[in-house]
Amino acid sequence: MKSSLAIIVALSLAILLSSGLYTVDETEQVIITQFGMPVGEPVRDAGLHWKTPFIQTVNRIEKRVLEWDGDSTPMTTKNKVFVTVDAFARWEIVDPLVFFRQLTDETRALSRLNGIIGSETRIVIARHDFIEAVRTTKDRKVVRDGPAPVEGATMSTAEARIGVLPEIRAGRSELEAEIFANAAPKVQELGIRILDVRLKRIDYDADVSKSIYQRMISERQQIAERYRSEGAGEAAKINGERERDLATIESEAYRKVQELEGSADAKATEIYAKAYNQTPEAAELFEFIKTMEAYKKLITGDTTMIFTTDSELFRYLKSSNPKAPNAAAGTAFEAPSGLDKLPTLLEVSGR
């Protein structure tokens, strides 16, 4: 009988201890509630603790940094570009008592964060252009997309804007800081502290992506066409300079050749003159040889020439002795009396 009573007392004591004792982990904090209402201060120290058995309940709250990952939400930028924004944030519970009274658990906390951070993200994105959210910082200088323009090339103002990014006044980092600054005060009353907010992904809306890509392709084609035009102009310039230089070189070469030939002919004439001017007979022989050479060049099988009777070139055709008083027709010609001064025309054929 006594042993049975001891067993019952031991079991009752064990049940009482198990209901009253609880442990707190290093990664959590505890709120004790009695009949659903919080009692006492939050328990933040790790270890073994005591509560009133059966009537008090242990509510465990996370102490570590938590993550909020919002859904991809469509929204519109200031320059009317439809985009889908995916943001995330890190947060922690700094006042577990207020958190428990306002939200109770993390599920409701995430729901409130969806409304607060999502709303502020939509407002900030709507205040800025699309490029502001895409670029990480505003510290960049972009003058023209592609290599530097060719020296001396000119473009119209409209063409110069192709491939030029608009000026960035804020940048993605400042947009994230603005979202954080607007959302942080609104969650303090919930016992929550937001550590940071980041824009994880920003993409065009699926309905407009095709038109955006087509516009990008068209812009790239305009840039390519502009470079082709500049290249064709530069090629025409180079070809013009080449043709001009070639004509100059050929002209100089021709002038040089003529000068050399003239100098050589003058030298040869001087040599001939010295050789054939020593006696009258030598001069007459030189004149005869040169005339015969002229005949070889001028009179061919299909040559027809017309001379006057007093032509110097015709004199050796009239007679082998140009000083003879009479000449036979064909090989020698005798001018009629009184007509030797007239310009009689004879036809000489090489056939």
311-331 b/e (C-beta count within 10 Å ≥ 16 → b): eeebbbbbbeebeeeebeeee
What is the maximum alpha-carbon separation in the chain?
194
* The length of the chain, given as a count of residues: 351
Q: Considering only CA atoms, which of 292, 303, 298 is closest in space to residue 349?
A: 303
Q: How confident is the model at residue 257 (pLDDT cuts 50, 70, 90)?
A: very high
CA distance 74 to 202: 10
Condensed to tens digits (0 to 9), the pLDDT of residues 156-173 reads: 444 445 555 667 778 888
H/E stretch holding 131 reads helix 130-134
CB 84 within 8 A of CB 202: yes
* H or E stretch covering 219: helix 206-276
Identify whether the C-beta of residue 131 lies closer than 8 Å to the C-beta of residue 222: no
Q: Are strands 304-308 and 56-62 parallel, antiparallel or unpaired?
A: unpaired
pLDDT one-digit tens code per residue, 103-138: 999 999 999 999 999 999 999 999 998 888 887 765
Written as six digits, the tokens of 189 are 């009353």
As assigned by CATH, the class of the 66-230 domain is: alpha beta
* 313 Cβ contact list (under 8 Å, min separation 6): 291, 294, 307
The count of C-alpha atoms lying within 13 angstroms of the C-alpha of 199, restricted to the half-sphere facing its C-beta, is: 27
In whole angstroms, give the CA distance from residue 137 to residue 249. 58
CATH 3.30.479.30 range(s) for the chain read: 66-230
Of the candidate ranges 234-243, 304-313, 337-346, the one whose mean pLDDT is the lowest? 337-346
Q: Rounded mean pLDDT of 78-93?
A: 92
Q: Which residue is listed with tokens 């001017």?
A: 277
Range scoring the smallest mean pLDDT among 61-70, 145-154, 227-236 = 145-154
Which comes out higher in pLDDT, residue 325 or 227?
227
d(CA 346, CA 341): 14
Distance CA 286, CA 140 (A): 90
pLDDT confidence bin for 215, thresholds 50/70/90: confident
- Taking the whole predicted model, whether its pTM rises above 0.75 is answered as no
